[in-house]
Structure 1
Amino acid sequence: MEELLTDAYAGIFEPALIEEISAVANITDFEEGDRLIEIGQYIRQMPLLITGAIKILREDKVEGELLLYFLEKGDTCAMTLACCMGQTKSEIRAIAETKGTLAMIPIGKMEEWLGRYKSWRNFVFTSYNKRLSEMLSAIDNLAFMKMDERLLNFLKEKAKVNKSAVIVNTHQEIAYELNTSRVVVSRLLKALENEKLIKLNRNNIELLKQ
């Protein structure tokens, strides 16, 4: 497990911290589509993403779900961090985008390492800043971007986290994540294909320009 942590966090954490993480972390494997964190759930451990990708969603009781950002190898979720430290209920939902592995860190160690390891403090603060920037970007997308721009950005982000230009999602699944209708998504995908930006295949969408 220490080798996996080193692969994901070398250059972020010093070896002594990686060794401590490997000694206390609970390792959890997950599959694509698994619900890892639910809204209203108390978070007792902080997740470090060793492999795979996870999408973070916010729920609106009227409008449905909104994709906030993706987590990739070497990331953590700042909103989960806040829930751990404040012992409050989660306001986000985390769903596995791909299969992968998490290292779950006890709350006590999170606080202890803030005082002992500069790299841990930097990681926590950097994670907060990065996630805040991504949430502001999500707000900007909603407020200022046209739906075709949001759709293209979504496809590019999916391609990035899955490390593949081929996106295996139905039009309905994309509509759900973008909080719009399948009819709108299908129409806009066809328009993007006409612009030679994507290729629509029978069971997937191929991104031609990234």
Structure 2
Amino acid sequence: MSETAGAWIEQFEALSGLPQPLRDDLVNGSQVVEIPAGTQVFGPGQTADSLLLLLEGTVRVQQRSETGREVFLYRVHAGESCVLTTACMLAFEDYSADGVAETDLRAVAIPRATFDDLVGRSPLFRDFVFKAYSRRIIDLFTLIDHIVFQRMDVRLAARLLELADTDGVVRATHQVLGTELGTAREVVSRTLSEFQRRGWIAQSRGEVRLLANDGLAVLARAGGDR
């Protein structure tokens, strides 16, 4: 195994401490893969046969109801793994949600055989898996709390600040923002119109430009002061 082949481990601090024999087994039993933006990484009914550790890019995980409504669950960023994949691999269950590459991805695919072997043999690897799992579970409970108890304008303000690029532009339709927040497009449209009336944003087709981050930030913080 060359040094370059295992260099990706350094992006995961918890894994960089693996003893060399286990580190070699992890690298030799895994594969670095590249996935184009827009690709469905996994979908409902599919078998979870590899754990992906993201090196570059983001994966959006969402669930679709029987009526066709989509609800955003979470994003997986570089340096993270997908909690749904972890849960499915541990429980030998099929996926119940969609994972879509929002950007071009570079990731490490750890096949089930390697995953099962290291979970059984290495307390450090097992700790890495379950710590990542528990953090995301907490995030999901926070999401449920926000959907049930937090005002929509507060949630939308926070999400706009989160999604804005370096130029202060959110490239998303009202429908996409509704999916992000688990609400109807019409609710997002009304709330954005109010933000625009206040001078906080400007809207154009498929874009929202942030003009007054301070106003949005004050509103977003109001949700944390309940």
- Candidates 79, 82, 99, aligned match of 1:77: 82
- Candidates 171, 176, 180, aligned match of 1:177: 180
Identify unmatched segments of 5+ residues in structure 2: 218-226
Structure 2 residue 48 is matched with structure 1 residue 43: yes
Q: Which residue of 2 aligns with 1:12?
A: 14
Q: Which residue of 1 aligns with 2:224?
A: none
| Runs ≥4 residues deviating over 4 A | none
Identity of aligned residues (%): 26
Structure 2 residue 150 is matched with structure 1 residue 148: no
C-alpha contact (below 8 Å) 1:8/1:51 kept by paired residues: no
SS at match of 2:8: helix
- Candidates 123, 126, 129, aligned match of 2:128: 123
C-alpha contact (below 8 Å) 1:63/1:179 kept by paired residues: no
C-alpha contact (below 8 Å) 1:40/1:91 kept by paired residues: yes
SS at match of 1:133: helix
SS at match of 2:46: coil
SS at match of 2:144: helix
Query: What TM-score do you get using the length of structure 2 for normalisation?
Result: 0.79
- Candidates 200, 206, 210, aligned match of 2:209: 206
Q: Which residue of 2 aligns with 1:58?
A: 63
SS at match of 1:76: coil
C-alpha contact (below 8 Å) 2:6/2:27 kept by paired residues: no
Q: Residues 13 and 157 of structure 1: is their aligned pair in 2 closer, same or farther, counting only changes over 3 Å?
A: same
Deviations 1:131-162 (A, max 9, x none): 11111111112100122122223223334xx6
Q: Residues 88 and 202 of structure 1: is their aligned pair in 2 closer, same or farther, counting only changes over 3 Å?
A: closer
AA aligned opposite 2:174: H
Structure 2 residue 104 is matched with structure 1 residue 99: yes
SS at match of 1:138: helix
